[in-house]
Structure 1
Amino acid sequence: MKYNKMLVLLCVLCTLLISGCVEDSTVNTESTINAESAEDYNIAAANNAFAFDMYSEIVNTSDGNMFFSPYSIFTAMAMCYEGAESTTKEEMSNVFYFPLNKNVLEISLGEMIEQINSDNENYELETANALWIQQNFPVKEQYISNVETYYFGNVTNLDFIGQPEESKDIINEWVAEKTNDKIKDPISDGVINDYTRLIITNAVYFNGKWLNEFNEEGTGKRDFYISEDDDITVDTMYTKQYFNYSESSDAKMLELPYKGDNLCMYVVLPDENDIESFENSFSISDYEELKSGMDSEYEVKTWLPKFKFESRTELSDQLIQMGVIAAFSDQNANLSGISDEYLMISKVLHQAFVDVQEEGTEAAAATEVAVETSEAVDVEPIPEREFRADHPFMFFIEDKRTGCILFMGKVESPEYEETE
């Protein structure tokens, strides 16, 4: 008789900015998967292609506002991919655009983590990884070494079987510490049980300011049209500045930079008030085309609602639909690079929070992936542009140095409640 064990991957991405940043893909799938060197592998393009694929799956199973961290999911699953073999490896490679040569991914992701963690006096941005192992469980030394070397992960032994509550508290405290208390209790009741053998965590924290803050005096109650026939009154910020701005035949894009100019928020506003149709056709190629067409020669009159919401999503079904099938199977999963005992993914949970206001943005996300094992120059005046976000829109928080999308979401109802 087989007894299921559990490998849990908890991936946490927290961003705090407190005053002051789908189908088709620009990735050549074959060359990406078969890349034989880090120079040949564009990890940001792989992450971003996955971001749009994941968005398409989530949006089909959720209503209203949406927010998630593709980078967090991508990184945690990369740590799982480190131990994947056979069909499990191939499917994960296809879905996440991971290279079949694992060393290429290790080097690429390690370099990205180091760049994200590079010091900058204008903001705080740091990512952290950890591996929590059931005491006496036989995890392969090479896997542990790779997690420590390439993912800069700390490795700790816990007693999931004898002390599940204590183990949960230790991990949750680590998550809270790494995310400045923005993600609390991500390991929910029942995640750790007698079959839990590993928990993998990833955390990212960002604290910064808008490069040019919105003046609070410009914020006022304005209409936001949830649909053509339904509107609400929300706190809407206003500013008039020179922003990077672009237009396409069906949308506008605005870049809101953060101090340090290494990170920014891109806001994509459809021309028509039909977010469902727009998001179903808006691809990563459209996103990149809008970015490449941006310029800052216009003063842009900008109206943007304050918004704050949180979400918790179970992503297992979406990942299975995307093609990660064997990893969730108690018959076909192959994570033998982690342990000789049988491992399989049982569930993937993602938790996220975002808060956008005059000084900046506060955002946090956490992902739990449970894997069971059974065994300025003077110029002539130029016309102004208007960016009036008074109907549903998409938004992205991107690391401009790497081109990596850290957060991605949409706002359908930006009702805002002040936090005391």
Structure 2
Amino acid sequence: MESSTNQELSADERNALLKQIEPKQIEAMNRLGLQLIRELGAQEAPSEKNLLISPYSIAAAMGMAYLGSEGETRREMAEALGWSEWDDRQLNITDAALHQLLMHPGSGIEMGIANAVWIKNGVTVEDAYKTNLQQTFEAEIGSLHTQPEQAKDEVNRWVEEHTRGRIPQLMQESPTAETLMILVNAVAFDGNWTNEFQPEYTKDGDFRLANGSTMSVPMMHQSKQFHYLENEDWQAIRLPYGDGQMYMLVVLPREGHTLEEIQQKLEDHPQKLNETSDFRLVELSLPRFRAEYGVHLKEAMQQLGIEKAFDPYAADFTKMIPRGPDWQAYIGQIIHRAVMEVSEQGTVAAASTLLDMRAGSAPPTDRVKMEVNRPFMVAVVDDSTGAWVFAGAIQQPEQVASN
């Protein structure tokens, strides 16, 4: 697996990569994350479950499929994913540059990103498509094992390795006889806070759930200068990792506002949260928490308007796999899983997305208080691009044992 321990990028190299990135593509990815969190939250109603996804991982996996799409399938995917105004070349340039930037996140952070494709024996995949996958996503390409159970085990072992053991069983079921190709993206993140929370200040405190009841959780505390943004609806703080190239964004709805309301308002302009924030002295209380979430994304993607890609009779992925005499490729399922742990020392997180392609038929000194004692939103963000590598809604902090 590629490792962020590779030689770091120089300032000139980072700036050159940043110039290749179309900011609106990053905004589209973040908006997709917000839309999916809201859609999945509606499916989980009443909202008592933590939701955690990797917008970056999902966009990368969908991007690998999009490269092989044509016609109405392509139009629907582009519209839902926010990619309509760019051609493949610009999408690929941004994807490749973002991949490189995320793989070099600076000191104090370890980041791993990997993509892989398994192809069923006997299935012809267009050479131009394979070249695109390798150039844009640095994807490994291999053969799908002929025995379904062993194919599943092989994919799961790859995901476990590339998420550093945090996602051991992405595929619960073996691929079907109709499976032509499996596309997988995996992300692993391990970041130490620039300013660690001191464990001796962690005390149990009340966390109020959405239904009004309370639970006791370990609350971490510190008072320091942080980038901070607020309005009448929410408070937001950036907690930097390492040398500051990535940070955790925590968004807390004001009293009287729900998390769902805030997400809906931010959906139109997710970059509001990336706006220049004040450097303020913040008295912060934040729960230690763990979130793990797995989901089949097919229904949520259909709700966002992607229909034909999942239709065995109407899907058009002929830039990927030519039509056979009595079959054509379609997306059978999208499996996504993410896990995150936040403690006094920092954050460890991992995510993986699988697509099963099938045949079918001068800082102010005034002190601000931010007590994160009710449902809140989190994102792990790349500072230079604003890309959300992880995003989630924490309804109920699960216990994390202290290190």
Tell me the TM-score normalised to structure 2 length.
0.88
Q: 1:235: how far off?
A: 0.6
Q: What one-letter code is carried by the residue in structure 1 that aligns with 2:303?
A: Q
Aligned to 2:121: 135
Describe the SS at the equivalent of 1:339: coil
How far, CA to CA, are the matches of 2:342 and 2:222 in structure 1? Answer: 15
* Structure-1 residue corresponding to 2:156: 172
**Matched-pair contact (CA < 8 Å) for 1:228–1:273:** no
Does residue 307 in structure 1 map to residue 293 in structure 2?
Answer: no
- Residue 186 of structure 1 is aligned with which of 170, 183, 187? 170
| Distance in 1 (alpha carbons) for counterparts of 2:276 and 2:105 | 30
Q: Alpha-carbon deviations, 1:344-365, whole Å to 9, x = none? A: 1122221121111111112222
| Alignment partner of 1:76 out of 44, 61, 69 | 61
- The SS at the match of 2:135 is helix
Q: What residue in structure 1 maps to residue 96 of structure 2?
A: 110
- 1:401 equivalenced with 2:401 (yes/no): no
Equivalent position amino acid for 1:354 in 2: M
Question: SS in structure 1 opposite 2:317?
Answer: coil
Structure 1 range deviating more: 116-125 or 254-263: 116-125
Which residues of 2 match residues 85-164 of structure 1 at below 5 A?
85-99=70-84, 100-118=86-104, 120-159=106-145, 162-164=146-148
Equivalent residues of 2:238, 2:249 under 8 A apart: yes
Measured against aligned partners, the alpha-carbon deviations of 1:260-302 in whole angstroms (never above 9, x if no partner) come to 2111011111112542552453314565334425111x21110
The Cα offsets for residues 31-89 of structure 1, whole Å up to 9 and x where unpaired, read as xxxxxx96666321221122222222112112321111111110100000000000000
Q: Which residue of 1 aligns with 2:322?
A: 340
Q: How many angstroms apart in 2 are the aligned matches of 1:40 and 1:354?
A: 28
Within 2, Cα distance between the matches of 1:70 and 1:39? Answer: 17
Q: Does 1:361 align with 2:361?
A: no
TM-aligned CA distance change 1:255 to 1:188, over 3 Å: same
Please list, as runs of the form range in 1=range in 2, the aligned pairs for 1:9-48 lying within 5 A after superposition: 42-48=24-30
Shift in alpha-carbon separation, 1:153–1:87, aligned structure 2, 3 A:
same
Q: Closer, same or farther in 2 for the Cα pair 1:277/1:115, shift >3 Å?
A: closer
CA distance in structure 1 between the partners assigned to 2:346 and 2:127 by the alignment: 43
Q: Is the contact made by 2:61 and 2:354 (CA closer than 8 Å) also made in structure 1?
A: no
Q: Distance in 1 between matches of 2:76 and 2:105?
A: 36
CA contact (8 A) 1:303 1:387 kept: yes
The partner residue of 2:35 within 53, 65, 89 is 53
Rounded to whole Å, the distance in 1 between the matches of 2:26 and 2:269 is 16
CA deviation vs aligned residue, 1:228-285 (integer Å, no higher than 9, x gap): 7311111110001111112101111111000121110111111125425524533145
SS in 2 for 1:203: strand
Contact kept in structure 2, 1:43 and 1:109, CA below 8 Å:
no
- 2:7 maps to what in 1? none
Unaligned runs of 5+ in 1: 1-13, 16-36
Q: How far off is 1:401 after superposition?
A: 1.9
The separation in 2 between residues aligned to 1:265 and 1:214, in whole angstroms, is 14
Deviations 1:324-357 (A, max 9, x none): 0111112210000111131111222211211111
The answer for the alignment partner of 2:184 in structure 1 is: 201
The one-letter amino acid paired with 1:95 is: A
Structure 2 residue matching 1:199: 3-state secondary structure? strand
> 1:328, 1:371 within 8 Å by CA — same for their partners in 2?
no
Deviation of the 1:164 alpha carbon: 1.7
Q: CA deviation at 1:419?
A: 8.1
Kindly provide the amino acid, as one letter, of the partner of residue 408 in structure 1: A
**Please, which of 387, 395, 399 is the counterpart of residue 412 of structure 1?**
395
* Cα distance in 1 for residues equivalent to 2:398 and 2:101: 35
Q: Which residue of 2 aligns with 1:387?
A: 370
Matched residue type, 1:94? E
Alignment: residue pair count? 379
Among 265, 289, 295, which residue is 2:248 paired with? 265
Aligned mates of 1:111, 1:40 — CA distance in 2? 10
Alpha-carbon distance, 1:311 to partner:
1.3
Structure 2 residue ranges without an equivalent (≥5): 5-18
Q: How many angstroms apart in 2 are the aligned matches of 1:410 and 1:117?
A: 25
Decide which moves more: 181-190 or 81-90: 181-190
Deviations 1:82-113 (A, max 9, x none): 00000000000001122451122112111111
Q: In structure 1, how many angstroms separate the alpha carbons of the residues matched to 2:211 and 2:119?
A: 53
**Residue number in structure 1 paired with 2:15:** none
Corresponding residue for residue 12 of structure 2: none
Moved more, 305-314 or 80-89: 305-314
Q: What SS does the corresponding residue of 1:249 show, helix, strand or coil? A: coil
Structure 1 residue corresponding to 2:226, chosen from 240, 243, 247: 243
* Letter of the 1:272 counterpart: E
The reply to whether residue 373 of structure 1 matches residue 355 of structure 2 is: no
1: CA distance between counterparts of 2:260 and 2:54?
A: 23
Report the counterpart of residue 33 of structure 1 in structure 2: none
Residues 103 and 392 of structure 1, relative CA distance in 2, 3 Å threshold: same
Q: Aligned partners of 1:285, 1:291: CA distance in 2, in Å?
A: 14
- 3-state secondary structure, aligned to 1:343: strand
Q: What SS class does the counterpart of residue 129 from structure 2 fall into?
A: helix
